[in-house]
Amino acid sequence: MAEPLAGALDRIRADLLDSDRLVRAVAAGRRKSERPDFRRAELRWVDLRDGRRLQVVTYDGRQAFTRNVIPDRAAAMVDDLLGQPYGNWHVDTTEATVQLRVTMKGEAQVHRSPPVASPGPMRLHDQVKKRLLDPADPFLRAVGISDEQGRVTAGRRNKYRQVEEFLRAVEPVLDRAREAAGDEPMRVVDLGCGNAYLTFAAYRWLTDVHGLDVHLTGVDLRGEARQRNTALAESLGWGDKVRFVEGAIADVDLEPMPHVVFALHACDTATDDALARAVRWQVPVVLAAPCCHHDVQRQLGSVAAPQPYGPLIRYGILRERFADVLTDAVRAALLRILGYRVEVVEFVESRHTPRNTLLRAVRTGSPAAPLQLAEYVALTSDWGVRPALGERLASEVDAAVGRQSMPARTT
């Protein structure tokens, strides 16, 4: 329920100035037709050699500015920030998590929930390493990546590293996603979401760090995944913007269409289902981290390799690895044919996870070039395979190349 903005900001002010209770606060976004001096501001109390200070970090889009304010001047600094036309405030205290959003009418919608954990403010800040997502973030504590003191646990360091590197992989296409969303909330869909760790992290990063209004939908066949993820979203106070549905990727009905699609470690041809839906929706930004590649691997086991490449599939382990490469090469080729600019990148080092390839695609709408089609036809016909994504998008590829037929699968 909306309430007067002034009274809601007064309560936020009391939280910000309480050096014993405040864990962290972030101001981001902007109100209608207004723009704050800084894109984002972050506040926390820290203990330095000279005593306790209110640390204020402001971001202008290119760099961060850090000020450590003595307590006597903290109120003036807080009042200045509260007077800025920020659209959202997120405040974590030892007692509650408070989210304030300014409506189009200039009123406040406030959601107050229990803290995910109660670690107390982290005072000794001098040696803290800057991360894209703070290890003390309530989300990371909620999923067990960090402990109650905001430290990454020894057994989850690889998971935290995956989170950080995935966010870095999203960063280069963030402007395109912003442009696609325009004045609307950015709609992000995770197809085959599973436990959705990376996508939860992306939601937190997009909303908290970048100040974006994001609506996230996760899709998975398993009812237990929907129940678990829904409960986690509710516990974090995100239930009004984050939802999960149970169903097959190929069948899910989403309106309006998303601006961004994730398909992160969806097993085997589930990645192809996700890419096919994204292409048919003409999604502006797609990020897919494939998992296993059994479909093409099985096909390679029953075909004769073109000469002189027989040794590539003669041995099981080499056939498996080559199938991985061939499958993702074909996926990238199909996306290019259907109007996407594609990058294939390593989003985390292989020593942390063997499934570390990321297809990052941005829709350009450019027509297919004859060479692109020729490469795809030669690659699939020479190896005698018909990849799942090619089957799912056969009509779209035919249309893109003037109704040319696709090569038949060799059996």
CA distance 145 to 128: 17
Whole-angstrom CA distances from 199 to 44, 228, 230, 340 are 26, 14, 13, 22
CA distance 330 to 390: 8
Strands of 285-289's sheet in order across? 242-246, 214-220, 186-191, 260-264, 285-289, 357-363, 340-346
| Cβ(271)–Cβ(263) below 8 Å | yes
> What pLDDT, on the 0 to 100 scale, is given for residue 65?
82
Nearest to 240 by CA among 339, 113, 398: 113
* Residues 108-142 pLDDT 10s: 999 988 875 444 555 544 444 457 888 888 889 88
> What pLDDT, on the 0 to 100 scale, is given for residue 352?
44
Low-confidence residues of the chain: pLDDT under 50: 117-119, 124-129, 352-353, 403-411
Contacts of 44 (CB under 8 A, 6+ apart): 22, 23, 24, 25, 54, 55, 121, 122, 125
In this prediction the pTM is 0.67
| The token pair that represents 68 in the structure block | 């450590």
Phi-psi region at 40: left, alpha or beta (left = phi > 0; alpha = psi -120 to 50): beta
Residue whose token pair is 């048919």? 280
Spell 39-72 as b/e; 16+ CB within 10 A means b: bbbbbbbbeeeeebbbbbbbbeeeeeeeebbeee
Instruction: Identify any residues that bridge with 186 across adjacent strands, giving them in sequence order.
Output: 214
Residue whose token pair is 């069948």? 251
| Cβ(139)–Cβ(63) below 8 Å | no
List domains and CATH numbers for the chain: 2-128 (no CATH), 162-400 (3.40.50.150)
CA dihedral 105, 107, 109, 115 (to 10 degrees): 140
Q: What is the DSSP string of 96-113?
A: -EEEEEE-TTS-EEEEEE
> What pLDDT, on the 0 to 100 scale, is given for residue 332?
95
